[in-house]
Structure 1
Amino acid sequence: MRHSSCFARWFGSAAVAALLATGLGGCQTARSPDVTGSLGTRAASSPGLSDAHGAIEALGERYRANPRNAEAGLRYGQALRADGRREQAVAVLEQASIANPGNKQLLAAYGRALAENGSFKQAFDILSRAHTPANPDWRILSVQGTTLDQMGKHGEARRYYSSALKIVPDEPSVLSNLGMSYVLSKELRKAEATLRRAYARGGSDVRVRQNLALAIGLQGRMAEAEALVTANVSPDEAAANVASLRQMIGNGRQTAGRPSEPRTSAVAAPSRT
């Protein structure tokens, strides 16, 4: 089994893309800005892929027949995001948002697409319009936190995670993003403690377990980290996971303590809404 040479394809959050961009790795792919971590990449020959492409084209035809239809624009944009057509998704969702000003569902999808495409400042601004202080959405608050982490504004990002956690205490996805924020600032003990909280409440989410393994491995406890990433997977997948983990940890150690400028051009990969 051929494994990915880039750990970002495994730990696929926006926060991890920032981690890689600030010196702990060499690849800049990421998945969802909503939730930290993601295993594997979408295979080019996945079963049913042609059917999925056909469904996307049908959604596109419906959208082009009436570009001002909010639902058509939203569904087409989300399908493009899921298929990895990031720039096209941004364009569709931007036009749909312009045609339907004030539609918060469209703004939320547009902001996520911008974040996945590396436009973090613009994503943050658009997401700010997708909810209000009087009626905040914890998912959007968490995504805003990851965009701030991408820009190197870790303290500000954590205030957004804190606000999200006031709405949904101990939500594993938010705790996972917060934990990865601490990884970005190399506060590894805080990262581990936070990710253990996420794991205790969301242990069924493999991405949370993988992020915890990263925080543990960066502290030099490789046996413990490898035990986490090899649990409940096939031998081939376990070997690939360990190889990727070791590469990521090795890159992190080589750049430890080296100052770096946060970059805002990390490329995001397909994600769920």
Structure 2
Amino acid sequence: MSRAKTSLTALILALGACASAPDPEAEAQAELARAIEDATKPATPEEIEAANNSDPLTKANFWSNEYNKDPKNLDVAMTFVSALRGIGSNERAIEVLSQTLVEYPDNPDLLMALGKVFSAEDNLMGAARAFEKAAVVMPERADAWSAFGITLDKLERHDMAQAAYDKALALEPTRTTTLANYGLSLALSGDLTGAETKLRLAAEQPDADLRVTENLALILGLQGRYDEMAAVSSRYAPESVVKKNTALLQEMVQPVRSWDALEEAPRASAPSRPATAERPKASASKPVASESLSLAGPASDDETQADAPAPAATGLRLRRTPG
């Protein structure tokens, strides 16, 4: 072989060796690209199932990572908010919902979730605005109108609340929670007859719970119909509790003595009135002042929360139905 051919062969082999040698910079970039791809890759169904079955903090951390991968993913954002609420992180939940609403400003599910978190934080005006917007953008959602009504009742705007309940019932006439909360709203307005009508309808529904029955019994008692109150209460409560509640309510709503009797009572010279064996009955038509009722807070499916403690003097209360 000639010297020229030998030199050419050596050059080709040298160039081939250079071309096949690994490039450290290219390998680093490829590794970085793979790491980024792995970091942004959605979790597998198996990973999601494992996270959802874990403790609340682990679940929240998992969905925080998923949310950071894709903040514009609506389903991920909603799941993350639910996980945040599970650990009581309402402020972060509001932040996530607010950011997601920038991308989906008229999404009723986001608005409903925001209203519930505001309600949990006792931001009633914020909750009312969120529920109202949800009802406006999707007027066929009975739960949105009902949640709006509950919030208005908490703001003591009972007429507006009742208008919202009417819209909800126009969509779902037998919705138990709406009927029950409508009844409480009417009671707070002093309309015990209307309250009874709504609560009776609620109590007739298959999914009516103990709160509905308790509220109906209390409304009957406030009208002086103690036998009916006892009959309704006895469906769930022991006889001793029924008797105690009836006696307490009779004591609470008995009519106040006349002004003449009040004026005569302190006078030593005035003859004392003979004691009567029978306790006077309350007037069924007399409206009940809202101060004599203690309303518990609501909630929704998860709305709305724990019932407020009953007044120490009576042990009786009206309890709002979640949702």
Establish whether TM, by shorter chain, passes 0.5.
yes
Shift of 1:198: 0.7
- The 3 A distance-change label for structure 1 pair 211 and 126 is same
Q: Which amino acid in 1 is paired with 2:143?
A: R
Distance in 2 of aligned mates of 1:50 and 1:95: 27
Shift of 1:125: 1.7
Range moving further from structure 2, 55-64 or 147-156: 55-64
Of 46, 58, 74, 1:70 maps to: 74
Name 2:25's counterpart in structure 1: none
Q: Which runs of 5+ in 1 are unaligned?
A: 1-48, 261-265
Structure 1 or 2, whichever has the larger Rg, is 2
The DSSP-based 3-state class of the residue aligned with 2:127 is: helix
Q: Which amino acid in 1 is paired with 2:55?
A: D
Q: Which amino acid in 1 is paired with 2:100?
A: A
Distance in 2 of aligned mates of 1:116 and 1:63: 23
Name 2:216's counterpart in structure 1: 212
1:174 aligns to 2:178 (yes or no): yes
- The 3 A distance-change label for structure 1 pair 258 and 211 is closer
The DSSP-based 3-state class of the residue aligned with 1:201 is: coil
- The 3 A distance-change label for structure 1 pair 121 and 242 is farther
Shift of 1:58: 2.9
Q: Which runs of 5+ in 2 are unaligned?
A: 1-52, 255-287, 304-323
- The 3 A distance-change label for structure 1 pair 54 and 212 is farther
Range moving further from structure 2, 168-177 or 63-72: 63-72
Name 1:157's counterpart in structure 2: 161
Name 1:108's counterpart in structure 2: 112
Name 2:143's counterpart in structure 1: 139
Distance in 2 of aligned mates of 1:171 and 1:144: 15
Distance in 2 of aligned mates of 1:204 and 1:93: 32
Q: Which amino acid in 2 is paired with 1:272?
A: D
The DSSP-based 3-state class of the residue aligned with 2:174 is: coil
* Structural RMSD (CA): 4.0
Of 129, 133, 155, 1:129 maps to: 133
Range moving further from structure 2, 192-201 or 205-214: 205-214
Q: In the alignment, is the contact (CA less than 8 A) between 2:202 and 2:208 conserved in 1?
A: no
Q: Which amino acid in 1 is paired with 2:302?
A: R
Shift of 1:201: 1.8
Name 1:8's counterpart in structure 2: none
- The 3 A distance-change label for structure 1 pair 161 and 68 is same
Q: In the alignment, is the contact (CA less than 8 A) between 1:195 and 1:211 conserved in 2?
A: yes
TM-score with structure 2 setting the length: 0.53
Q: In the alignment, is the contact (CA less than 8 A) between 2:116 and 2:299 conserved in 1?
A: no
Name 1:37's counterpart in structure 2: none
Higher relative contact order (CA 8 A, sep 6+): 1
Distance in 2 of aligned mates of 1:83 and 1:271: 17
Distance in 2 of aligned mates of 1:133 and 1:62: 29
1:90 aligns to 2:94 (yes or no): yes
User: In the comparison of the two structures, how many residue pairs are matched?
Assistant: 215
- The 3 A distance-change label for structure 1 pair 220 and 203 is farther
Shift of 1:102: 2.5
- The 3 A distance-change label for structure 1 pair 154 and 80 is same
